[in-house]
A and B are shown apart, each in its own frame.
Chain A
């Protein structure tokens, strides 16, 4: 089984809808992250959490919110989806500060 799982893997939604992306990990790491990948821009950090009670904004947090339900679970929500949030979303975990372990990604399309 994969160490970091993301659900759903693909999602198409309409503008204005609320959507939640979920991430679970079995690595026992305290630190979890959400990134988005856009063509030509690499991965950009949306939110990160260093433990269950710690939530921090990344460089592109506007329009997103997160919830750290447990050490192993970190969810990303789009309260009112817009087309420019169409992207590939990755969850990642780490135990040390630097090396991160990524999930397989969620491809989100907002029409």
Chain B
């Protein structure tokens, strides 16, 4: 039972264009959502997050959108750069009923120069 799903295993985008990575979740108890970025041979690094009381959070080229009614969030990268090529993990956290953070399977982004 995958509570956090990233349905696209990979995504290829041209440099300078927008990258949109999607994530769906099933548990309404999740109240905080995060995106992590992972390069080969390194651990994941935190990228950006959003609380369930917001629908958008922006940090430079990265914007996360949350649609609670659809249980869907997305990460937009504009403009995409070759250095953005990495695996992106979506994670959802809940602060009730004990600690819970569930990660999606990841989406591998390729940004072509």
State the A residues within 8 Å of B (CB): 4, 35, 40-45, 48, 50, 56, 90, 92, 97-105
How many chain B residues have a CB neighbour from A under 8 Å? 23
Tally of A-B Cβ pairs under 8 angstroms: 51
Q: Nearest B residue to A104 by beta-carbon distance? A: B43
Consensus secondary structure, chain A interface: strand
Which residues of chain B have a CB within 8 Å of any CB of chain A? 4, 6, 9, 32, 34, 36, 41-46, 49, 89, 93, 95, 98-99, 101, 103-106
When the two chains form their complex, are residues A42 and B46 in contact, meaning their CB atoms are under 8 A apart? no
Q: Are A98 and B105 in contact (CB under 8 A)?
A: no
Given A98-B49, A99-B49, CB of A41 within 8 Å of CB of B105: yes
Provide the residues of chain A in CB contact with B43, threshold 8 Å: 4, 90, 92, 102-105
